[in-house]
Amino acid sequence: MLKIVTTLTASLAATALWAADGVQPLPKAHAHNDYEHDRPLLDALSHGFTGVEADIWLVDGELLVAHDANEVEAGRTLASLYLDPLRARAEEHDGMIYASGQQDPITLLIDIKSDGPETYQVLSDVLAEYSDILTVFEGEEVEPGAVTAVISGNRPRDMMQEQDVRYAGYDGRMSDLESDTPASFMPLLSDNWTNVFDWTGEGEMPEEQRDRLTEIVSTAHDKGWEIRFWATPDEAGPAREAIWTVLDEAGVDLINTDDLSGLQDFLQAE
């Protein structure tokens, strides 16, 4: 009986892991706080998402995934929830996460919640163990992998810049927009939507704000950076659809949401 149960459990786990095999990836779909879904990573992949966010805390030498410190649970590590299943998929799909249609690495946005330097020291060693699937940053050279890890939150910029070889990029902010930071260090620039714009999807977007968004995206792309905004309206309805439409048309690279089905339907209808 034990053997039957064990075999069934393994079979169900495998079915869950590969449930996204027939899904076409959506280049702009980014799962905000992905770990809060019933099946971290797997739910996002089953909806075609190409970006996922994991918040991490360093606890007794382990990188635990949770939004707040009082929510950490033993066993919910960055490796078990994300790195190991991503490696398994890459091995299954000839170095890619999706069986077909994937042209670029997916983004694993790692938001450091605990002390930046202390956490990154451990994180850097962990990421090195997954060098077979991760994008490698070495000086001005970037070797794409199946997954590009990007460090957000408490980012130890100086510490990262001192590394000759890294397995993660740096997540910039709007204050970096006019800088000459190379994309080989900072592949992504993210910021809170409400820090930059006050339009929340009601009525037409003011022309000066639309022009500002166009300018931001153009400047970032000219420098080789992708763009992401968080804290955009995410409650289903006309305002959210208006925001998503503007982001999509402006060329924003990652559209943030907690609603996997909602964004999947929106992007597939475009």
| 15 occurs within a structural domain | no
The number of distinct structural domains making up the chain is 1
pLDDT band at 4 (very low <50, low <70, confident <90, very high): very low
Within a domain: residue 187? yes
What are 108's strand-pairing partners?
Answer: 52, 149
State mean pLDDT over 123-133: 99
pLDDT over threshold 90, residue 22: no
Express as a percent the part of the chain with pLDDT over 70: 92
pLDDT number for residue 14: 43
Determine which helix (DSSP H) or strand (DSSP E) holds 112, and give its type and residue range. Answer: strand 106-112
CATH number of the domain where residue 171 is located = 3.20.20.190
Alpha carbon 217 to chain centroid, angstroms: 18
Domain presence at residue 58: yes
Residue 97 lies in a domain: yes
pLDDT, tens only, 178-223: 999 999 999 999 999 999 999 999 999 999 999 999 999 999 999 9
Is residue 7 domain-resident?
Answer: no
CA–CA separation, 51 and 41 (whole Å)? 9
Is 19 inside any structural domain? no
69, part of any domain: yes
Asked if residue 56 has pLDDT above 60, the reply is yes
The angle formed by the CA atoms of residues 49, 262 and 135, to the nearest 5 degrees, is: 15
Domain of residue 58, residue span: 25-269
Dihedral, 124, 125, 126, 130 alpha carbons, nearest 10: 90
Above 70 in pLDDT, residue 7? no
At residue 251, the pLDDT reads: 98
Distance, in Å, from the CA atom of 47 to the CA atom of 68, rounded to the nearest integer, reads 26
6 belongs to a structural domain: no
Give the model's confidence band at 6: pLDDT under 50 very low, under 70 low, under 90 confident, else very high.
Answer: very low
Beta carbons within 10 angstroms of residue 178's beta carbon: 9
